[in-house]
Amino acid sequence: MIILIGGEKGGTGKTTIATNLAAMRALAGRDVLLIDTDPQGSANYWAQSRDELNIMPRVACVQKFGKGLQAEVKDLAKRYQDIIIDAGGRDSVELRSAMVVANKAYIPIQPSQFDIWTLNQMETLVTTAKGFNTDLEAWVVISRSSTNPSVHESDDTIEILNDFSSLKLASTGIKDRIAYRKAASGGLGVSELKPKDPKATEEMEALYQEVFTNE
């Protein structure tokens, strides 16, 4: 299974989602590879921290850039059960190449007008990629939304998604919780934190189930 976590907007929690899914997949006994295509290298730093702290199970991570990404992912998919690609927050060669080889794409966006405006471009990119990769399915994940139950900032995003044919809304959203930052700083997924944050763990486990159900 090749999973892409990508989008055109930065700061939406892509690396948070990618690293947590990779950690959970490794904990499930799968041979998983995390591919970091973002020049900032946040996912790679996370994996390095995990190695330095000798956290098990190990999550293998490599950085890949440029036009050769598509062929390299296909080759790596022969050696790993699962590949999770963390693509940077911009329209890039890496993002487009990953869409051509991924089974599923998850596009995190914050529930703000600036992020919503990027969905038109993502719809175009996914539709184009489907011309080469007919099996590609793409979901939008509402990410880093407020934990305040009285704030309904996600409503506009949900309504606008009804206008797109290539993008669907993921059932699970990810809130803006300090537990994710705390886990990342220690090379962990939130499910590995001690003590656990029950709400963060629950929502990430729900997203994990959604991503890897019916694989």
Domains of the chain: 2-212 (3.40.50.300)
pLDDT of residue 127: 96
Name the stretches of the chain with pLDDT < 70: 89, 149-156, 214-215
Beta strands in 90-166 (DSSP E): 104-109, 137-145
pLDDT of residue 150: 55
Contact between 112 and 118 (Cβ < 8 Å): no
Which amino acid is residue 176, in one-letter code?
D
Beta strands in 13-102 (DSSP E): 32-36, 60-63, 82-89
Environment class of residue 148 by beta-carbon count within 10 Å: exposed (0-12), middle (13-18) or buried (19+)? exposed
pLDDT of residue 167: 94
Per-residue burial over 88-99, b if 16 or more Cβ lie within 10 Å, else e, is bbebbebbbbbb
CA distance 206 to 211: 9
DSSP letter (8 states) at residue 190: G
CA distance 147 to 93: 35
pLDDT of residue 159: 74
pLDDT of residue 214: 61
pLDDT of residue 133: 97
The pTM is what?
0.93
